Amino acid sequence: MKKIISYISVIAISVMIFASCTGDLDQIPVTKTTSKDVYSKASNYKSVLAKIYASYVIAGQEKGGGNADISSNSGYDLMRGLFNLEEASTDELASTWLEGDNIGNLTYMTWDANDPWVSDVYYRLYYTIALSNEFIRNAADGKISGFTDAEQTEIKNERNEARFLRALSYYYVLDLFGQGPFVTENDPVGAYTPKAYTNSQLFSYIESELKDVEANLPSPSECEYGRASSAAAAALLAKLYLNAVVFDAGDHYTDCITYCKKVIADGFHLDSDYSGLFNADNNKRTDEIIFPFVVDAGYTMSWGATTYIICGEVGSTSSQKADDYGVTSPWGMFRLRGELPELFADKTGTTDKRAMFYTDGQTQWLDKAIDDQTQGYFCEKWSNLKDDGTAASNTTSDGVSTDFPVFRLSDVYLMLAESVIRGGTGATRADALGYLNLIRERAYGDNSGDITDADMTLDYILKERARELYWECVRRTDLIRFGVFTGKDYLWQWKGGAADGKNVDSKYNIYPIPATELSANPNLQNENY
Distance CA 328, CA 56 (A): 24
- HEC string for 225-265: CCCCCHHHHHHHHHHHHHCCCCCCCCCCHHHHHHHHHHHHH
Domain boundary among 372, 402, 432: 402
Domain boundary among 402, 419, 450: 402
39 lies in the same domain as 155: yes
The domain total for the chain is: 3
Domain boundary among 349, 369, 402: 402
Contact 65, 77 (CB under 8 A): yes
Phi-psi region of 296 (alpha: psi -120 to 50; beta: other; left: phi over 0): beta
418 lies in the same domain as 369: no
The identity of residue 390, as a single letter, is T
Three-class DSSP category at 433: helix
> Residue 404 class from Cβ within 10 Å (0-12 exposed, 13-18 middle, 19+ buried)?
buried
Other C-beta atoms closer than 10 Å to the C-beta of 179 total: 21
504 lies in the same domain as 472: no
pTM: 0.94
E strands, 310-391, where? 334-335, 357-358, 378-379
Q: For residue 327, what are the domain limits?
A: 296-402
By C-alpha distance, which of 357, 360, 364, 403 is closest to 380?
A: 357
243 lies in the same domain as 315: no
520 lies in the same domain as 434: no
Distance CA 377, CA 366 (A): 9
Is 25 within the bounds of a domain? Answer: yes
By C-alpha distance, which of 493, 453, 504, 476 is closest to 178?
A: 476
At what angle are helices 149-177 and 199-214 packed, to 10 degrees?
150
Distance CA 213, CA 205 (A): 12
279 lies in the same domain as 311: no
Q: In 314-428, which ranges are continuous DSSP H helix?
A: 339-342, 395-398, 409-421
Contact 349, 357 (CB under 8 A): yes
For residue 220, CA distances in Å to 73, 232, 286, 410 come to 38, 8, 9, 17
Contact 213, 233 (CB under 8 A): yes
- Greatest pairwise CA separation for the chain in angstroms: 67
Could you read off the pLDDT tens digit of each residue along the chain, which spans 529 residues? 445 655 544 344 444 333 334 444 443 444 455 677 899 999 999 999 999 999 999 988 777 777 778 877 777 899 999 999 999 999 999 999 999 899 999 999 999 999 999 999 999 999 999 999 999 999 999 999 999 999 999 999 999 999 999 999 999 999 999 999 999 999 987 778 999 999 999 999 999 999 999 999 999 999 999 999 999 999 999 999 999 999 999 999 999 999 999 999 999 999 999 999 999 999 999 999 999 999 999 988 889 999 999 999 999 888 999 999 999 999 999 999 999 999 999 999 999 999 999 999 999 999 999 999 889 999 999 999 999 999 999 999 999 999 999 999 999 999 999 999 999 999 999 999 999 999 999 999 999 999 999 999 999 999 999 999 999 999 999 999 999 999 999 999 999 999 999 999 999 999 999 999 999 999 999 999 9
- Find the CATH number of the domain harbouring 64: 1.25.40.390
Helix (H) or strand (E) holding 94: strand 94-95
> Residue 336 class from Cβ within 10 Å (0-12 exposed, 13-18 middle, 19+ buried)?
buried
